[in-house]
Amino acid sequence: MNRRTGLIAGASAVAVAAAAFLLPNADASSEHGPGVRSFAPQAAAQLGATLASALGDGTAGWYYNADVKQLVVNVLDPRTAERVDRTGAVAKVVRNSTADLKGAARTLRMTASVPGTAWSVDPKTDTVSVLADSTVTGPGMATLNRALSRLDGLVTAKRTTGEFTAFTGGRARGHRMARGGADGGNNGAADPTAPTAAAAGVQGGDAIFGGNVRCSLGFNVSMGGAPAFLTAGHCGNEADTWFADRTGTQQLGTVAATTFPVADFALVTYDDATTAAPSSVALGDGRAQDITHAADAAVGLEVQRSGSTSGLHGGTVTGLDATVNYGNGDIVNGLVQTDVCAEPGDSGGPLFAADAAIGLTSGGSGDCTAGGETFFMPVTAALAATGATIGADSAGEPGGTAATP
């Protein structure tokens, strides 16, 4: 696998300035059938995927409304809405089809390749949601607005504070691990820079060190029966060898495959084939969450992220099939967008929902004080590309790489 693939030249970031964004005139309506049911996230995901497959072009995406535990399915006509209503889901008649939204995303990729921008498909608004960070001004903003003007009704757009960047951390950077509860705040994990007794036993969210950077381990996996782990590709590009400590005395493994940009994942195989590599994520205070399988994300899904800088934080999936332009030609596609915060050093760390592995931390804007947006490489895509397995599947049991959360 190439160490760097798909470089796309982008315009240089420019100074911060205000700019007007063009907003669509959305025309969506909701139709609630008489038998609307409550769904657990897993059941909603299973039904949503089933309906999308069965109804084909009659649907336009779906999402989970966690507040009322309802599955909302976007449809294009009343007849399809009736079919959805009979399943207990909520049918929402919308204007834009899935093909329309994918076409809008393609247009943005071709005409609005501006550093500091990102976009994702948002079934809640039936649009492609476009973000511009604080560096997008002047010619960059003009380019973006020209693209948006041709997509009236297909896009929504807004500013985000800060600057989109990959969340690697330098070795000299301090590690802030504040105390907090189990509700998604920092959970007081031990300082990840402190030397450990042995490299064995590292798990999702723990610090890993390579070259001049610190990242976070994503998920332990199995590669042909041998232990390995996933992390971010922009981390894998920085060094061939990775360690469990900042002094470089406790070697973990060697990069077997790494891809960044275009995608953002790396596979590192443990040097010792007998390494204990638990399928779990660190939650702080000595607690851990077992990971049994990988799952695709769904908009509205409540998720958590663990990282070696900021610890444990929670939030919600807000967009799918996201593209983010970090600048310098580093453009990544197919990401999961969330409102979960992250900070430098959290790169590669795990995004998960209960015992399901969802994503690997890529980058975003903001921090865990002010908040922000964070993008994640889907774990299912990384597993498919590398041939690795996770959780129960890594032990040769059913499930693991294509389940729903």
The catalytically annotated residue of 100, 113, 120, 234 is 234
| Bridging pattern class, strands 70-75 and 90-93 | parallel
The DSSP letter of residue 23 is: -
The catalytically annotated residue of 133, 245, 264, 393 is 264
> What three-state secondary structure class fits 103?
helix
Judged on CB neighbours under 10 Å (0-12, 13-18, 19+), 369 is: exposed
Q: In degrees rounded to 5, what are phi and psi of residue 80?
A: -65, -35
Q: Which residues contact 187 (CB under 8 A, 6 or more apart)?
A: 179, 180, 181, 283, 284, 285, 287, 311, 312
Tell me if residue 216 is catalytic. Answer: no
Tell me if residue 313 is catalytic. Answer: no
* Residues 120 and 319 sit within 8 Å (Cβ to Cβ): yes
Tell me if residue 272 is catalytic. Answer: no
DSSP states of 216-247 as a string? E--EEEEETTEEEEEE-HHHHTT-SEEESSTT
Q: Where are the alpha helices (DSSP H) in 86-137?
A: 98-111
Q: In degrees rounded to 5, what are phi and psi of residue 148?
A: -65, -35
The DSSP letter of residue 394 is: G
The catalytically annotated residue of 347, 362, 365, 394 is 347
Residue 278 structure tokens: 């638990």
- Residues known to be catalytic: 234, 264, 347
